[in-house]
Structure 1
Amino acid sequence: MNKIELVTATLEASLNTKIERHFDTLDTDPDVLKQLLADKRSENTRRAYEKDVNDFLQTMTGMPAVPDNVLEFLHLEERQAVSVVLKYKAKLIDKGLKEATVNRRLAAIKSLVEMGRKLGVCHYALGDIKGEKVAKYRDTTGVDAGTFERVLQQCDRATLAGKRDYALLRLLWGNALRRNEISQLSVRDFDPLTKTLRILGKGRGTQSETVDLGTATVQAIADWLEARGGNQSHDTPLFTALDFANSGHRLTGDGIRKIVVRHSENAGIKKQMSPHRIRHSAITAALDATDGNVRKVQKLSRHRKLDTLMIYDDNRGRDQQDITEMLDGMF
């Protein structure tokens, strides 16, 4: 057989090969929950979906989610499935769970059903099941700049922990970052020369974005890194724990929350504080400083929808209070 005949025979053999040789198309009992979780980039999202699906099946079958009872649910007729989910929703409401929690658990079940449809093991939808009405971002209150300055003053910048906390708090305020955005930062993401920081924004997967930093924040981060010393490769976390058990490890979102709470309490703030409360505070302060320029402040907050910022602006303006005072003074 010459070279041309060999090539021809090889091509014919490839064309005649059944697709099952390379792709398993005969999986009639797929692990739908496993596939659903694998389809989510965020570890937090995966944990939340798994928890909610487990709660649903534990409540309705007495067993946590396993492939068998997941498929049993997905193989129901539509009227049966809708009835089961409506009964589950009623149980959640009877427990007194908040509307947002009920909606989140329903969303997890709907996602499970949608994945089942994609995999060909489910032939119904749950579009007739409606969620509870929720007022989004109702509470956007925070603290003013003067109050937050008291929080900064609680950081003893003569100590390593104080330098870290001061840089962290300035970053929370100056760039209105979320705690997970800060927790994921590495040394390579910080560029003191261009005064920029590369972050992984919420809902953007592995697509990073670059934000500009204020001069004081750049100096604070640089001071922290210099004081920390040691081996700081590009992959080294930007903010690390300093306690004996976790020293050098990446500072977690909960660790950031505890830092905020501790310094806020030391500053005498009675309001429950958190990294997200500082984000609310920074956005509101920016709206005040720009006389409600929501498009400009959107560059800071990175909200995709301008409507979300409008809620901040409405709450900041206290328009309802102004109208109430006007009516109250009419007689």
Structure 2
Amino acid sequence: MPGTRRRAGAMAPYIAAIDAKLTALGYTPGTRLGLLKIVGDVGRWLETERLTVADFDESAVASFRAARAREGFTQKLFGRCFTLMFEVLREDGVLAPPPTAVVSPLEALLADYRQWLVHDKDLAAMTVLRYENLARRFLQIGQPAGEVLDTTMLSGAEISAFILAESGRVSLGSARGRVAEMRSLLRYLYLTDRTRWNLAGCVPSVAGWRDAHLPVSLSAGQVEAMVDSCDRSTSTGRRDRAIMLLLARLGLRCIEVARLRLDDVDWRAGELTVRGKARRRDLMPLPVDAGEALVDYLHEGRPASSHREVFITERAPRKPIPADLVGDVVRRAARRANCPDAKAHGLRHALATEMLAKDIPLLDIGQVLRHRDLATTAIYAKVDIDSLRGIAQDWPGQRS
């Protein structure tokens, strides 16, 4: 355990427990030493002020910071350190549980909606955040802070006006997202008896041609360059290469990579269980190079962790990676491979395009990508320009 040269004062009995928590979270010895110095500073401050450890809770942090500032200390104070101190003191029974905060009607409803999105709809964290943000904007229209509009009196006109206002300030794609978010909220309000009727059908659709654009796809060479750009001599590089290969070879989504657990890999059968949308589970073959990259990461790069998720953050506190970190991995690889516009979903498009070029039927491509609707897969037919030229008819009136 890192020691401190100065005595820890009133906090001395709790140093070992706090250090154990820091170690379990993956903090390096140097960082642990710095955080434990803060604990010691708190202990000595308590003695100077003639306070007991039981007096040091969230309300005392500001006084401690002010005292440090008056003494001219410039040491950075880590909020995480105080959080750990409070956890240890409460586990030891020194501090009482924190007072329950007063929750406004708006926050109570949003918390319930959030639980519904997570547990009933199984949406990813970033998707839940977008849905919650729209719900917050809609539910507090014309209301005092913390209050909620009377949803029992909602009308189609109010819903249409809100969607039109939202759509007027965003792109076409984002406007379509607003429609989906609003319909979700209205379904939730109906299911929880907060509206008399299911008003989801009152949300107007956004005008625009469906699938009017060609999907942007990376070439096979660009994909391989991005994979090869990961530095296999570092733990981060090993992790990133395994992530890139799962995206490129299996067309996984970011959230599916983040959700992957150690128990999902059947090494003997060479198969992978993919945890997809809406609690869907799909069994997929594990390509050799992706499997080898996973083995390399698990044996040489993955930090020790009690978490069952495969991919763990490199920095403390060590925890499973979020879905948006998968996107960051792809963006960094894209910059290294001189493909600045590449995104994680582009690897999924690249896989579909490559399969199409090998004359694999769209139905099979849809099964690999785990599309629920073949119409979603059909957009890739548009990238086969040579085949389209062969079936294209002359424009009416055009001479041969």
Pick the TM interval, shorter chain.
0.7 to 0.9
1:165-176 paired onto structure 2 within 5 Å: 165-176=240-251
RMSD after superposition: 3.2
CA 35–251 in structure 1, closer or farther in 2 if over 3 Å, else same: closer
Q: 1:69 aligns with which of 148, 165, 172?
A: 148
Give distance in 1, aligned partners of 2:367 and 2:186. 37
TM superposition shift of 1:106 = 3.8
1:181-330 paired onto structure 2 within 5 Å: 181-204=256-279, 207-228=280-301, 231=304, 235-242=307-314, 245-246=315-316, 248-270=318-340, 272-289=341-358, 291-317=359-385
Give distance in 2, aligned partners of 1:238 and 1:292. 31
Give distance in 2, aligned partners of 1:167 and 1:232. 18
CA deviation digits over 1:82-124, x for unaligned, max 9?
22222223322432x2234334334444444444444444334
Indicate if the aligned counterparts of 1:57 and 1:63 stay in contact, CA closer than 8 A. Answer: no
Give distance in 1, aligned partners of 2:348 and 2:188. 35
Q: Which amino acid aligns with 1:279?
A: R
Indicate if the aligned counterparts of 1:140 and 1:312 stay in contact, CA closer than 8 A. Answer: yes
Give distance in 1, aligned partners of 2:167 and 2:327. 30
Give distance in 2, aligned partners of 1:237 and 1:121. 37
The percentage of aligned residue pairs carrying the same residue is 21
In the alignment, structure 1 residue 98 sits paired with structure 2 residue 177: no
Indicate if the aligned counterparts of 1:197 and 1:212 stay in contact, CA closer than 8 A. Answer: yes
Give distance in 1, aligned partners of 2:224 and 2:274. 25
Q: Which amino acid aligns with 2:243?
A: L
CA deviation digits over 1:172-231, x for unaligned, max 9?
111010111111122222232221122211222xx5332111112111111121112664
Q: Which amino acid aligns with 2:372?
A: R
Gaps of at least 5 residues in structure 2 are 1-104
Give distance in 1, aligned partners of 2:281 and 2:392. 45
Indicate if the aligned counterparts of 1:156 and 1:163 stay in contact, CA closer than 8 A. Answer: yes
Give distance in 2, aligned partners of 1:82 and 1:128. 5
Aligned to 2:7: none
Indicate if the aligned counterparts of 1:260 and 1:273 stay in contact, CA closer than 8 A. Answer: yes
1:102-117 paired onto structure 2 within 5 Å: 102-117=175-190
Higher RCO structure, 1 or 2 (CA under 8 Å, sep 6+):
1
1:28-177 paired onto structure 2 within 5 Å: 33-40=110-117, 41=119, 42=123, 43-58=125-140, 60-61=141-142, 66=146, 68-70=147-149, 72=150, 74-76=151-153, 81-95=155-169, 97-126=170-199, 127-134=201-208, 135-136=210-211, 138-177=213-252
Indicate if the aligned counterparts of 1:33 and 1:112 stay in contact, CA closer than 8 A. Answer: no
Aligned to 2:26: none
Give distance in 2, aligned partners of 1:254 and 1:83. 36
Gaps of at least 5 residues in structure 1 are 1-28
CA 307–262 in structure 1, closer or farther in 2 if over 3 Å, else same: same
CA deviation digits over 1:246-283, x for unaligned, max 9?
3743222222222211121111224x111111111111
TM superposition shift of 1:306 = 1.1
Partner SS state of residue 278, structure 2: coil
Give distance in 2, aligned partners of 1:254 and 1:240. 13
Size of the aligned set, in residue pairs, is 286
Give distance in 2, aligned partners of 1:256 and 1:121. 37
Q: Which amino acid aligns with 1:210?
A: L
CA 266–219 in structure 1, closer or farther in 2 if over 3 Å, else same: same
Q: Which amino acid aligns with 2:300?
A: A
